[in-house]
Homo-oligomer: A and B are copies of this chain.
Amino acid sequence: MARGPVTGRKGVVETMSEQDASRGVMFGGVFRRGGVETGDQAWLRAMLEVEAALARALERAGLAPAGSGVAVTKAAVPEHFDVAELGALAALTGNPVPALSRALTKQVPRTAAGAVHRGATSQDIVDTAAMLMAARGLDVIVADVAAAARAAAGLAVKYRSTIMIGRTLLQQAVPVTFGLVAAGWLAALDDAAVGLARIRADRLAVQFGGAAGTLASLDDAGPRVAALLAEELGLPLPVLPWHTNRLRIVELAGALAGAAGTLGKIARDVTLLSQSEVGEVHEGPGSSPGSSPGSSSGDGGSSPRRGGSSAMPQKQNPVAAVAILGCTKRVPGLLATVAAATEQEYQRAAGAWHAEWETLADLLSLTGSAASWAAELLSGLTVDTGRMSANLAAAKGLPLAEHVTSLLAGTLGRAAAHDLVAEAGARAVSAGLPLRDVLLGLPQSAERLEAAGITAEQIESALDPAGYLGAAAAFVDAALAAHQSAKEQADRHG
């Protein structure tokens, strides 16, 4: 067993320093792009906001002296607190709130001390802070998904009639339009945005139940304080405290996973369509830091070229699509964690609740990062319509085999038509000939067509991709109309 230079540096039962624990920045350009904030400072800020709002609510309910709310609010600013110390003290009680509320108490005037954390349990603060972060995060994500949807709508309009080959099971199938592809992305993005907005509007909620969900330490004033707290924070008031009813969290995570899945599907398509051998779309130059002209040179500047490879000068990697996939592939596992963490014991759980904190933060950040990347990706997507035509032409009529079969089925019967065309197709492939040439040129086939009264013109017409697009345009229009109507509805509610 090779040990040499690779050896653990630390002994047993030792506590990590702040620097050792700190993370998220090195790969942040990939996984934490955009405006969703779920880092340590965001948690601190949100927890302080909850404590401050609680003090104001208590004052409004007559349970704290006048001025307490303002005093606590003034003290509750992140700059006064040391995340590293709070994090270390979290080890004593299993979460950072007891240390935070003590530290906050020390920052306020003696008269306001009684308004700090009164009635609350640690979980009230952490859960409500998580809801605040989720609310803000969802706003950002919905905006980025909407930006991506607008870009997709633009593509759907612009390429409504641009014919390309459709592909199923990664094999060329029948013609579609790029407009329809973009309309499919659009419809999915619109759906995802609706799902996220629904959670934002209906399923977030303040958490305030005290030690075991009765708010006993507030006597009978609990529900009123809870209502005021909800008002102060702009979060809905739930019917009951939900300490061990985690359905909201699962629904939030589920909506994020749905959105991430949608973004991942689009990114997968972009990586495939931009393969060297397909080349139908390309990522634009992006707006990343350091992507200004000149920065892409190999002159030893600190900024590598966007999409570049340190080794291969010709490479133009689909960075945005790859980054999206890097984000979205992490989401299903995190979703499973949250779903499994629903099994929470009694009035407050031993471990399952704790497992949610960073997991939920990661779900928000990763989905947010993917959405931010996607908004940029779709806004800048370059479409190579020439390559689309060329790829279709290179298929030499095979993608229209189904159409030709339909044409022949009327007279030959479906099975015979299928067999004749399948045979011709196989021959066309092996000989490298257009399907047309085989169908019309091969005596055996030509005779049968003639006998069936099928003309060469009919065959040629059936082989025209433009004549075999079915409802493609109608579907594009339907997706655009639905998008327009969703946008109007969102504007009314926004």
Contacts and interface: CB of A to CB of B under 8 A. Distances in A.
Contacts of A222: 470-471, 474
A69 interface: no
A301 B89 CA distance: 12
Given A170-B272, A239-B482, A27 B339 contact: no
Given A234-B3, A290-B92, A403-B216, A143 B14 contact: no
A262 to B, nearest CB: 6
Contacts of A154: none
B92 A305 contact: yes
Contact of A323 (B94, B103, B191): B94
Contact of A93 (B275, B307, B314, B351): B307
How many copies of this chain sit in the oligomeric assembly?
A: 4
Bin chain A's interface residue count.
Answer: 35 or more
Nearest to A187: B240
B312 A211 contact: yes
Interface string A303-320: 111111111111111110
Contact of A6 (B31, B37, B132): B132
30 contacts: A5-B232, A22-B23, A25-B83, A25-B84, A29-B96, A30-B90, A30-B94, A31-B358, A89-B290, A92-B286, A92-B306, A102-B302, A103-B302, A169-B317, A171-B315, A174-B211, A216-B468, A220-B474, A222-B474, A223-B474, A245-B262, A245-B265, A246-B261, A254-B258, A261-B343, A305-B422, A314-B429, A326-B351, A332-B335, A333-B335
A303 B99 CA distance: 6
A222 B478 CA distance: 13
A304 B102 contact: yes
A37 B14 CA distance: 12
A113 interface: yes
Contacts of A422: 298, 305, 308, 313-314
Contact of A1 (B21, B200, B332): B200
A310 to B, nearest CB: 4
A339 B344 contact: no
A267 interface: yes
B304 A93 contact: yes
A470 B212 CA distance: 10
Contacts of A271: 169-170, 350-351
A80 interface: no
A412 to B, nearest CB: 11
B33 A15 contact: yes
Contact of A300 (B102, B210, B324, B351): B102
The 7 A-B residue pairs with the shortest CB-CB distance, nearest first, are A325-B351, A10-B35, A261-B342, A326-B354, A254-B254, A4-B234, A298-B418
Contact of A331 (B245, B326, B339, B346): B339
A321 interface: yes
Given A10-B34, A22-B23, A470 B375 contact: no
A385 interface: no
